[in-house]
């Protein structure tokens, strides 16, 4: 039988004891403090970061490595925690939950539990059905020849599949490239364990793997309440801001917008008032569109007139604000009473 794959090679189910957790929590600096210390737009000294694609990737990587160092876990595990914990990509909320109840957080997020808490216990592959649950290929190489046995892939949740089915599953889940594809789970029914980036890279083509990394990077902005994209067309800059309240962002592309609502910069007006103003303008715009489509201006006084019945002879009635001029609806030439 070929060697089993592992999602968290440096974890290997060996988690620190509570004493080690306490030591790490006191000796390591907080990820959230590192984050707040770095939120400076150095060129303009603003309380936000403007990140182009290269800077954004470096920023996401720093979040992952900082949390990995703090919790003494693999970068794969740290990335899964950051992406799937609520709120997403906020290290401070993970730290509190991790040190209060690590097992509960692991089960909620989809990281393998401790061996003593694993739902499958200490059963080995010999105790389980030695067939791929997708295609039913024989995975027990001790009873079959290497030519007929399928190559097994074992996840940290202890579910296993043949390599062909697992690769096909990953391709199906990741081919869309959507942000949601950055949270791929074990194919087994009712298993929420997330598949790590290392395992995805080992069992997909480079094109599919790039879709996954792009989706993961995009999630750093799309599902992160402390970040958003510049709304200007053809601009790929992201903004990271951890403060509260309205803030007008001056992007590298020259566009100014509100971080909260995404509209053009509108301080000191509130987002609510701006929203009401935009609705009012839209309603007035619809009125203008209707007037242009269903009325014609009097050739003399320019008052808009609606033709709702009768012949083509029109009178601009003075009792409704007109001038009394009479004209032809079709050609607008003066008509004889």
Q: What is the pLDDT along the chain (337 residues), one digit of tens a residue?
A: 444 444 444 444 343 444 444 444 444 444 444 444 444 444 457 789 999 999 999 999 999 999 999 999 999 999 999 999 999 999 999 999 999 999 999 999 999 876 544 444 444 444 555 788 888 887 765 444 444 456 788 888 888 899 899 999 999 999 988 888 899 999 998 899 999 999 999 999 999 999 999 999 999 999 998 999 999 988 999 999 987 767 899 999 999 999 988 888 888 888 888 888 877 777 777 777 777 778 888 887 778 888 877 788 888 887 777 787 888 988 888 776 6
Query: What integer pLDDT is reported at residue 131 of this predicted model?
Result: 84
Q: Are 4 and 160 in contact (CB under 8 A)?
A: yes
Q: Are 86 and 20 in contact (CB under 8 A)?
A: no
24: nearest Cα among 90, 83, 116, 98: 98
Q: Are 139 and 132 in contact (CB under 8 A)?
A: yes
Q: Are 216 and 79 in contact (CB under 8 A)?
A: yes
Q: How does strand 256-258 pair with strand 248-250?
A: antiparallel
| Residue 169 main-chain phi, psi, to 5 deg | -60, -45
Angle at the Cα of 72 from the Cα atoms of 68 and 238, rounded to 5 degrees: 10
Residues 6 or more apart whose CB falls under 8 angstroms from that of 137 comprise: 131, 149, 150, 162, 164, 165
What is the rounded distance in angstroms from the CA atom of residue 90 to the CA atom of residue 97? 12
Backbone torsion region of residue 223, taken as left when φ is above 0, otherwise alpha when ψ lies between -120 and 50, otherwise beta: alpha
CATH 3.30.40.10 domain locations along the chain: 18-222
Q: Are 169 and 135 in contact (CB under 8 A)?
A: no
**DSSP conformation class of 204:** S
Residue with tokens 């295609």: 135
H or E stretch including 111? none
Residue with tokens 């902005």: 221
| Residue 27 main-chain phi, psi, to 5 deg | -95, -20
H or E stretch including 51? strand 49-51
Query: What integer pLDDT is reported at residue 140 of this predicted model?
Result: 64
| Tokens of residue 233, six digits | 């067309």
Question: Residue 54, Cβ neighbours under 10 Å: how many?
Answer: 8
Q: Model-level pTM greater than 0.75?
A: no
Distances (CA, A) of 139 to 7, 120, 127, 144: 19, 19, 13, 9
3-state SS assignment for residue 70:
helix
Query: What integer pLDDT is reported at residue 325 of this predicted model?
Result: 83
Distances (CA, A) of 312 to 206, 263, 277: 70, 46, 40
Q: How does strand 295-297 pair with strand 256-258?
A: unpaired
Q: What is the CATH number of domain 18-222?
A: 3.30.40.10
111: nearest Cα among 75, 139, 87: 75
Angle at the Cα of 298 from the Cα atoms of 297 and 302, rounded to 5 degrees: 70
């Amino acid at each position: 039988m070929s060697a089993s794959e592992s999602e968290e090679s440096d974890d290997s189910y060996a988690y620190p004891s509570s004493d080690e957790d306490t030591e790490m929590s006191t000796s390591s600096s907080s990820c959230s403090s590192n984050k707040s210390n770095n939120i400076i737009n150095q060129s303009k000294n603003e309380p936000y970061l403007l990140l182009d694609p290269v800077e954004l990737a470096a920023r996401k990587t720093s979040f992952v490595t900082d949390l990995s160092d703090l919790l003494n876990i693999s970068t794969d595990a740290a990335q899964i925690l950051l992406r799937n914990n609520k709120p997403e990509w906020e290290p401070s909320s993970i730290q509190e939950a991790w040190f209060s109840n690590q097992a509960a957080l692991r089960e909620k997020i989809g990281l393998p539990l401790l061996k003593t808490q694993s739902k499958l216990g200490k059963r080995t592959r010999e105790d389980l059905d030695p067939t791929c649950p997708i295609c039913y290929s024989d995975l027990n190489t001790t009873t079959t020849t290497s030519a007929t046995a399928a190559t097994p892939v074992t996840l940290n949740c202890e579910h296993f599949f043949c390599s062909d089915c697992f690769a096909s599953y990953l391709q199906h889940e990741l081919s869309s490239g959507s942000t949601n594809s950055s949270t791929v789970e074990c194919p087994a029914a009712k298993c929420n364990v997330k598949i790590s980036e290392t395992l995805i890279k080992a069992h997909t083509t480079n094109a599919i793997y790039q879709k996954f990394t792009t989706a993961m990077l995009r999630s750093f902005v799309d599902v992160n309440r402390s970040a958003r994209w510049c709304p200007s067309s053809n601009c790929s800059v992201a903004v990271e801001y951890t403060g509260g309240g309205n803030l007008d962002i001056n992007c590298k592309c020259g566009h100014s917008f509100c971080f909260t609502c995404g509209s053009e910069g509108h301080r000191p007006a509130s987002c609510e008032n701006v929203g009401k103003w935009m609705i009012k303008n839209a309603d007035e715009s619809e009125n203008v569109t209707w007037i242009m489509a269903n009325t014609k201006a009097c050739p003399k006084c320019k008052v808009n007139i609606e033709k709702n019945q009768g012949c083509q002879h029109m009178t601009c009635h003075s009792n409704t604000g007109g001038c009394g001029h009479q004209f032809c609806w079709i050609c607008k030439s003066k008509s004889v009473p």
